[in-house]
Structure 1
Amino acid sequence: MTRVLVLNSGSSSVKYRLFDGSATVAKGLVERIGEAGGEVADHRAALQGIMAEVDLSGLAAVGHRVVHGGTEFTSPTVIDDDVVARVEALVPLAPLHNPAALTGIEVARKLLPDVPQVAVFDTAFHATIPPEGVTWAISRELAERWQIRRYGFHGTSHAYVSRRTAEVLGRDPGQTNVITLHLGNGASACAVEGGRSVATSMGMSPLPGLVMGTRSGDIDPTVIFHLHRVAGLPIDEIENSLTRHSGLQGMAGVNDLRLLLEKRAAGDPDAKLAFDVYCRRIREYVGSYLAVLGRVDAITFTAGVGEHSAVVRAAALSGLEPLGIAVDPSRNERHDEVVSPPGARIPVCVIPTDEELEIADQSRTALSLPR
């Protein structure tokens, strides 16, 4: 077996998981890095603590989750100084995420200088979307100068889940079309044609698309102009509102779907509307991707909400029965792998995601290591 350490470095956290082949040897999370009352002072101390606690002998690689690879990085990439410089150049596209990943990379390279390091990018899976799926109808000069286009995110999850869906259905992934719905606090949809992403809901950033815990998802851009010109709000405040105080939080005062469902069951009208908006947006994207793909072999729910909320799955696909899409109540309540009725034209699946395993496997691929 090949041992790979996967690191997901956030601005104030480090999530880690050590694999031996596909088996998890150790995992954990260091939080509140550098914060008052936090566990450790900085990322170096966090990683030193992980190394003191976890046996890293025989380590073949370290795989790093990097959110934004721009148009440069379309596959897992072995890290060297040039790669680090190119990822740094992409920070303006992901100012909240790429700096944290760079910190994790810098510290891991210093503490494990003899172990190959690999960057696995959230955006890379979506590099196969055709030009008409990533281009917005704005000035070509502006778009090219400022790298404005759809990039998409959650790529490791969509890649893993679409492949697992084909395996569950006994199909060849290269011949299977899947609509994957990654529903967590962040949420995105993806149309996967024969193992390749051809459409996704997030855009230049993780803000657009589906309704999320605190992010608005799709809105009319004029809302931003209106809030700036008429309401007098500064751009930074508008951005903060759309990313941290919108979505379910903005509509109903809670960003946890479980709390939203409790409020909805108690008759809260704001919670009911938020739930309806949330599910309708999913249904709209499913319909859109049915048109994009032409033939759909499965619709798959994944991530925290997608895997655990039977009520969301049922409501999001409600009314699509004439298209061959239905949810069987008993299977859905049990969270079976296939929750559609037997013989349904388009199976509906529930597949747990495993982004860390996907990162480990992609790291091995980049280094030509056995799995």
Structure 2
Amino acid sequence: MILVLNSGSSSVKFRVVDLADPAAGDRGTVERIGEPGGVPDHGAALAQILGGLDAAGITAVGHRIVHGGARFTAPAVADDAMLDVLRELTPLAPLHNPGGIAGIEAARAALPDVPHVAVFDTAFHATLPAAARTYALDRDLASRHGIRRYGFHGTSCDIVSRRAAELLGRPLDSLNLIVLHLGNGASATAVRGGRSVETSMGLTPLEGLVMGTRSGDVDPAVLSYLHRAAGLDFAAAEEQLQRHGGLKGLAGANDMRTVLERRAAGDPDAALAFDVYCHRLKKYVGAYHAVLGRLDAIVFTAGVGEHAAPVRAAALDGLSEWGITVDPDRNAAHAPVISPEGARVAVCVVPTDEELAIAEQVQAATQDRLRNVAPSEIN
């Protein structure tokens, strides 16, 4: 069994995955780490998790890490040297990576005799071509500080792309897909033959689509304007974009279910938030269709993508000339394929399973490692 950990600054989500029976296995979350009423640190959180599990049955631990920079383009064994590099990358993801590092440290201490493998959200996007990953900044400045598009939600994009190919009964390497991962965080990715060729999130997960609390795309000069016009320092201005923007900024709620309820009740702020959200989605679908040239399928996934039928319908409304249409009955039923029979572009709803994808990558990484280690090195 593989223990998959998703460690944040104040929580650890876990799932035990048996690849022979992925639907089985314990899962849960330890919250309020370091907060009143919660456990004091990640070590205590791991102790609480392991106290309820058969730790003797755990053969490996997989760790979800948000940002691997340009250094990690595949799963990596989480040893001391790897952690040193990961700490160097913390400025790229100051809100996410410190929790991941703390989780690895705590899990290695609690389970020292099994392999630990880090799986990176950014790794799937290592295939981005130079034209897609490069910002138009001074080359030396960008190179010195690692400023480029990295992309996120890669683990989800990977498994969802493979599942979409299975659903359509076609080889993945023959398909051009647009994957719309729509949760509290949201991203669009153009996938050609199973490889990421364009994605909406950039240096950080802030860029791109409208999200729960993140603004997505704005004029970069908004930050300096907020400083001059509103008297906000840089940290406060960034806070507006990261935690007080998106659906929360427009409608006062970061949950799309609440926005849809208020929109149905006639709330104009919720209606505008919905319209801005879906307009941004449609813009990215059009742009990525152009990048791919030929489009075989659009794939909705994650909480909003899997469950919010009005979002799916509005985001693709008016695209019938491109062969993109949504069948209202199939959409309302959340069918796996919501486009009409025979549509030129399939529109799919595919549940994501990042924990399973991480477990699969951990198993492959540990098997590869064992195959490349001399017998005398294996205890």
TM-score relative to the length of structure 1: 0.97
SS of 1:367 mapped into structure 2: helix
SS of 2:28 mapped into structure 1: strand
- Partners of 2:230 and 2:244 lie apart in 1 by 17
Partner residue, 2:33? 33
Partner residue, 2:374? none
SS of 1:368 mapped into structure 2: helix
Partner residue, 1:164? 163
1:99-122 per-position Cα deviation (integer Å, ceiling 9, x unaligned)? 100001001111111100000000
1:272-331 per-position Cα deviation (integer Å, ceiling 9, x unaligned)? 111111001000000011011111111000000000011000000000011000000010
Partner residue, 1:320? 319
Q: After TM superposition, list the pairs within 5 Å mapping 1:33-72 onto structure 2.
A: 33-38=33-38, 40-72=39-71
- Partners of 1:43 and 1:52 lie apart in 2 by 14
How many residues end up aligned between the 2 structures? Answer: 367
Partner residue, 2:349? 350
Question: Which amino acid letter does the alignment assign opposite residue 325 of structure 1?
Answer: I
Partner residue, 1:191? 190
Question: Which amino acid letter does the alignment assign opposite residue 85 of structure 1?
Answer: D
| CA RMSD after TM alignment | 1.1
Partner residue, 2:288? 289
Residue 58 (structure 1) shift: 3.1
Residue 230 (structure 1) shift: 2.8
Instruction: Confirm or deny that 1:20 pairs with 2:18.
Output: yes
- Partners of 1:366 and 1:356 lie apart in 2 by 15
Residue 171 (structure 1) shift: 0.7
SS of 2:94 mapped into structure 1: coil
Residue 16 (structure 1) shift: 0.4
- Partners of 1:234 and 1:34 lie apart in 2 by 27
Partner residue, 2:85? 86
Question: Which amino acid letter does the alignment assign opposite residue 366 of structure 1?
Answer: A
- Partners of 1:331 and 1:93 lie apart in 2 by 41
Q: After TM superposition, list the pairs within 5 Å mapping 1:1-371 onto structure 2.
A: 3-21=1-19, 22-23=21-22, 24-38=24-38, 40-368=39-367
- Partners of 1:318 and 1:113 lie apart in 2 by 53
Question: Which amino acid letter does the alignment assign opposite residue 11 of structure 1?
Answer: S
SS of 1:57 mapped into structure 2: helix
Of the structure 1 ranges 69-78 and 50-59, higher mean CA displacement relative to structure 2 is found in 50-59
Stretches of structure 1 that go unaligned for 5 or more consecutive residues are none
- Partners of 1:12 and 1:224 lie apart in 2 by 28
SS of 1:189 mapped into structure 2: strand
Stretches of structure 2 that go unaligned for 5 or more consecutive residues are 371-379
Residue 84 (structure 1) shift: 0.7
SS of 1:230 mapped into structure 2: helix
SS of 2:10 mapped into structure 1: coil
1:207-243 per-position Cα deviation (integer Å, ceiling 9, x unaligned)? 0100001000000111111111232210000011100
- Partners of 1:259 and 1:231 lie apart in 2 by 30
- Partners of 1:89 and 1:365 lie apart in 2 by 26
Question: Which amino acid letter does the alignment assign opposite residue 32 of structure 1?
Answer: R
Partner residue, 2:376? none
Residue 49 (structure 1) shift: 1.2
1:244-274 per-position Cα deviation (integer Å, ceiling 9, x unaligned)? 0000111111111111111111211111111
Question: Which amino acid letter does the alignment assign opposite residue 153 of structure 1?
Answer: F
Question: Which amino acid letter does the alignment assign opposite residue 306 of structure 2?
Answer: E
Residue 57 (structure 1) shift: 2.0
> Once superposed, which parts of structure 1, at least 4 consecutive aligned residues long, lie more than 6 Å away?
none
- Partners of 1:260 and 1:25 lie apart in 2 by 34
**Percent same amino acid at aligned positions?**
63
1:55-95 per-position Cα deviation (integer Å, ceiling 9, x unaligned)? 12232210000000000000011121110100010001011
